[in-house]
């Protein structure tokens, strides 16, 4: 359904701004328009009666249902949820630890101390883990 179909079912419809209208609410004895209608960019339609009527009441009075407020689904709407391997807190904890390791090695290098083979190897692991942390954070 599109918003024009809904608006045709209402009385005293007045456009208030882009994709927004106000009309008399069909769910109560409305003398002045109190039903706000808004169409979102994705085609969904929102209703709000300032007198307190529920959207179900409004839709029932004009012979519509909630499904009429949503555009038809496009393609496969049963997409599987992508599970991230770590939560944000775990990623930040790991990144903070690796930054500490990198800082210790940077201090040693700043004092002209050479890193051992084991320290250089650990620094490469540190860089790899920081890179992976960035990839996980990006999703």
Distances (CA, A) of 54 to 51, 59, 63: 9, 9, 14
Q: How many CA atoms lie within 13 A of 36 on its CB side?
A: 12
Q: What is the pTM of this model?
A: 0.53
Domain end position, chosen among 38, 69, 100: 69
**Residue pLDDT, tens place only, 8-47:** 999 999 999 999 999 999 999 988 999 999 999 888 999 9
Q: 129: pLDDT confidence band, cut at 50, 70 and 90?
A: confident
Domain end position, chosen among 20, 42, 69: 69
Percent above pLDDT 90 for the chain: 48
Residue 97 covered by a domain: yes
Residue 80 covered by a domain: no
116 or 137: which leads in pLDDT: 116
For the chain, what is the domain count? 2
Q: Are residues 57 and 115 in the same domain?
A: no
Q: 72: pLDDT confidence band, cut at 50, 70 and 90?
A: confident
Rg of the Cα atoms in the chain: 29
Q: What's the domain range around 23?
A: 3-69
Domain end position, chosen among 22, 37, 69: 69
Q: What is the mean pLDDT of the chain?
A: 87
| CATH code where residue 34 lies | 3.90.580.10
Q: Are residues 25 and 65 in the same domain?
A: yes
């Amino acid at each position: 359904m599109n918003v024009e179909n809904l608006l045709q079912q209402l009385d005293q419809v007045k456009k208030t701004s882009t994709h927004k209208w106000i009309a008399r609410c069909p769910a109560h004895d409305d003398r002045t328009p109190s039903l706000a209608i808004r169409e979102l960019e994705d085609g969904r339609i929102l209703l709000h009666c300032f007198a307190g009527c529920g959207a179900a009441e409004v839709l029932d009075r004009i012979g519509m249902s909630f499904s009429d407020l949503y555009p038809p689904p496009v393609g496969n709407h049963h997409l599987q949820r992508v599970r991230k391997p770590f939560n944000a807190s775990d990623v930040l904890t790991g990144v903070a630890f690796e930054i500490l390791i990198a800082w210790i090695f940077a201090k040693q290098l700043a004092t002209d101390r050479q890193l051992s083979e084991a320290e250089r190897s650990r620094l490469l692991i540190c860089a790899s883990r920081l890179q992976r942390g960035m990839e996980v954070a990006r999703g």
